[in-house]
């Protein structure tokens, strides 16, 4: 395992900035990262080493305050820092990163605060990242669970108007993840992180697919960052259920590196594909119907075998056998697709239609796409030969103690069928679901 400690040279090179073979100049703005035991006690000294010595505003929720927030606040006060706090009460339900929650945060952060400290997992980190960006203040991430891959990213998924939207935000100035805290995280949060990490299989495949078909920008270096951690965790999933520290560390590092990969690529392509589109769809339905089905990473994990099933079927298909006449007869043009999307998404349809305009094809455009795919087919199959089977990933999830099927999460069959039909319209991003639709599979 190439741990984060062994990757110091790579991270140092990123901080200096370098010209990548992908044609981009990569730069890492995160000045300090540590995943180790007893990190919380060292946070005051590490902040001062970064030149952050002024007032601190700490943000947590009821659970993360008990897990680490109170200890961080005490350590800072004992070291002479001025500390104010926002602690969201979450006794009965999950914190939703929506407008009222953001408003409270903006109201309570003092103008004098020099740095914001996010103590928590996905929701807390996304809220603070966005607030820090809007306020022009640095923030420090103190993860309390290896539950998601957004700790190092520069975007915030928030719920605005009942719709999950991704906003530009600030990457953290530093990330301090204490293994003693991470190993005590609820198991459902640990397996959510594993599900998020497993989703990188299909995210990578979708990016490679679009590179071949659409000549989309592609950066292998960003994917290589996560490879070692993914290999470690998927080779011994049972160790996560036993809370083995080196595997919890590997999982946390993989999730942090995923966020760094996103920053390198300039978008979430290295970490997000069709599996995330399915998860986002289920989250939107959850909000609309006031049902909550597990963490985002758990849904990503469950979605990954579904997407791999599509890949397994598509890659076994022979596009030279396509009957264009039959496809032409059944083709739904832009107007019909738009009408179906409007009916399905209702008040959210306008924004979704604007996002996925390029996916509503005339028959002539689709026929040209099919010809292009046919000409690239051998390259597609050769490039994606590394993909694991749906069954292999299902087994990984099961061995880790994670849910591996929509049924296991309690997702209604209707939600699953609708997601497979309509989730691809949530993003302009090209995935295997678009390929399958174009080929009529």
pLDDT digits (tens, 9 = 90+) for 378-431: 999 999 999 999 999 999 999 999 999 999 999 999 999 999 999 999 999 999
For residue 340, give Cα distances in angstroms to 163, 245, 422. 19, 49, 9
| Token pair of 187 as six digits | 């198991």
Please tell me which residue, 432 or 348, carries the higher pLDDT value.
432
Partners of residue 174 on adjacent β-strands:
32, 140
Outline where DSSP puts E strands in 161-289.
163-168, 174-178
Which two tokens mark 262?
């996103």
- Residue 372: pLDDT band with limits 50, 70, 90: very high
**Tokens 């392509």, residue located:** 269
State how far the alpha carbon of 247 is from the alpha carbons of 104, 161, 300, in Å: 37, 39, 20
Which residue in the block uniquely carries the two structure tokens 């180790």? 36
Where would I find the H helices in 296-412? 296-315, 324-330, 334-345, 349-355, 363-383, 390-400, 406-409
Percent of the chain whose predicted confidence (pLDDT) is above 70: 97
**Has residue 252 got a pLDDT over 50?**
yes
Tell me the pLDDT of the chain averaged across its residues.
92
Report the C-alpha gap between 134 and 258 in whole angstroms.
24
Write the pLDDT tens digit of every residue in 111-138: 999 999 999 998 999 999 999 999 999 9
Average pLDDT rounded to a whole number, residues 250-267: 88
Rounded to whole angstroms, how far apart are CA atoms 68 and 59?
A: 11
Q: Identify the pLDDT of residue 6.
A: 53
Q: How confident is the model at residue 187 (pLDDT cuts 50, 70, 90)?
A: very high
Cβ-count burial 347-379 (b if 16+ within 10 Å, e if not): ebbeebbeebeebbbeeeebbebbeebeeebee
pTM for the structure as a whole: 0.90
Residues 6 or more apart whose Cβ sits within 8 Å of residue 369: 361, 438
pLDDT for position 201: 96
Q: Are 433 and 277 in contact (CB under 8 A)?
A: yes
- Cα 360 from Cα 366, distance rounded (Å): 9
Q: In the structure, what pLDDT confidence band is assigned to residue 7 with cuts at 50, 70 and 90?
A: low
CATH topology of domain 5-185: Rossmann fold (3.40.50)
Q: Where are the domains of the chain?
A: 5-185, 274-439
Structure confidence at residue 337 (pLDDT) = 96
- Letter string b/e over residues 162-178, b meaning 16 or more CB atoms within 10 A of that residue's CB: ebbebeebbbbbbbbbb
**In the block, which residue shows the tokens 């009957």?**
323
Total Cβ atoms within 10 A of residue 412: 15
Higher pLDDT: 4 or 412? It is 412
Say which residue the tokens 């791999």 belong to. Answer: 308
Q: What integer pLDDT is reported at residue 1 of this predicted model?
A: 43
The pLDDT value given to residue 268: 86
The band of 49, judged by pLDDT with boundaries at 50, 70 and 90, is very high
- Judge whether residue 94 has pLDDT over 60: yes
For residue 440, is it left (φ>0), alpha (ψ between -120 and 50) or beta?
left
Angle (CA) 147-153-157 rounded to 5° is 75
Can you tell me the distance from the alpha carbon of 88 to that of 100, in angstroms, rounded to the nearest whole number? 12
233 band by pLDDT with thresholds 50, 70 and 90? confident
Least confident of 13-17, 60-64, 238-242, 325-329: 13-17
Neighbouring residues of 74: CB distance < 8 A, sequence distance ≥ 6: none
Give the pLDDT band (50/70/90) at residue 240. very high
Q: What span, in angstroms and rounded, lies between the C-alpha atoms of 216 and 374?
A: 18
- Token pair in block for residue 362: 């005339």
pLDDT in tens, 72-83: 999 999 999 999
Structure token digits, residue 234:
């998927």
Least confident of 42-56, 248-262, 381-395: 248-262
Which residues are within 8 A (CB) of 28 and not within 5 positions of it... i.e. 6 or more apart? Answer: 11, 14, 15, 260, 263, 264
Is residue 19 within a helix (H) or strand (E), and if so which, with residue range?
A: strand 18-19
Is 293 a residue whose pLDDT tops 70? Answer: no
Specify the pLDDT at position 42: 97
3-7, 62-66, 93-97, 217-221: least confidently modelled range = 3-7
């Amino acid at each position: 395992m190439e741990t984060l400690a062994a990757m110091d040279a790579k991270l140092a090179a990123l901080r200096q900035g370098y010209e990548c073979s992908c044609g981009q100049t990569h730069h890492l703005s995160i000045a300090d990262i540590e995943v180790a035991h007893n990190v919380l006690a060292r946070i005051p000294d590490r902040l001062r080493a970064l030149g952050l010595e002024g007032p601190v505003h700490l943000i947590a929720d009821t659970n993360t305050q008990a897990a680490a927030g109170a200890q961080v606040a005490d350590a800072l006060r004992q070291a002479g820092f001025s500390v104010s706090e926002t602690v969201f009460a979450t006794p009965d339900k999950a914190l939703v990163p929506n407008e009222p929650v953001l408003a409270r945060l903006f109201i309570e952060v003092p103008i004098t605060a020099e740095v914001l400290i996010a103590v928590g997992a996905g929701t807390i980190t996304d809220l603070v990242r966005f607030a820090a960006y809007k306020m022009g203040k640095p923030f420090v991430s103190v993860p309390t669970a290896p539950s998601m891959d957004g700790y190092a990213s520069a975007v915030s998924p928030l719920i605005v108007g009942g719709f999950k939207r991704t906003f530009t935000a600030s990457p953290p100035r530093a990330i301090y993840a204490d293994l003693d805290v991470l190993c005590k995280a609820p198991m459902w949060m640990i397996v959510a992180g594993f599900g998020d990490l497993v989703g990188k299989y299909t995210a990578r495949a979708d990016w490679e697919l679009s590179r071949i078909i659409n000549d989309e920008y592609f950066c292998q270096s960003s994917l290589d960052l996560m490879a070692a951690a993914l290999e470690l965790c998927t080779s011994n999933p049972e160790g996560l259920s036993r809370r083995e520290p080196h595997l919890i560390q590997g999982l946390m590092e993989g999730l942090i590196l995923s966020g760094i990969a996103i920053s390198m690529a300039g978008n979430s392509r290295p970490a997000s594909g069709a599996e995330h589109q399915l998860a986002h769809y289920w989250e939107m339905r959850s909000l609309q119907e006031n049902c909550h089905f597990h963490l985002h990473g758990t849904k990503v994990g469950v979605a990954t075998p579904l997407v791999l099933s599509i890949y397994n079927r598509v890659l076994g298909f022979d596009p030279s056998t396509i009957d264009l006449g039959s496809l032409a007869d059944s083709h739904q043009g832009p107007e019909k697709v738009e009408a179906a999307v409007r009916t399905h998404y209702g008040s959210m349809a306008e924004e979704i239609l604007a996002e996925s305009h390029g996916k509503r094809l005339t028959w002539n455009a689709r026929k040209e796409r099919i010809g292009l795919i046919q000409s690239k087919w051998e390259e597609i199959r050769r490039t994606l030969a590394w993909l694991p089977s749906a069954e292999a990933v299902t087994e990984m999830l099961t061995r880790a103690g994670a849910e591996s099927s929509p049924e296991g999460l309690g997702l209604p069959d209707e939600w699953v069928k609708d997601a497979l039909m309509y989730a691809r319209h949530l993003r302009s991003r090209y995935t295997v679901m678009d390929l399958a639709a174009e080929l009529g599979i």
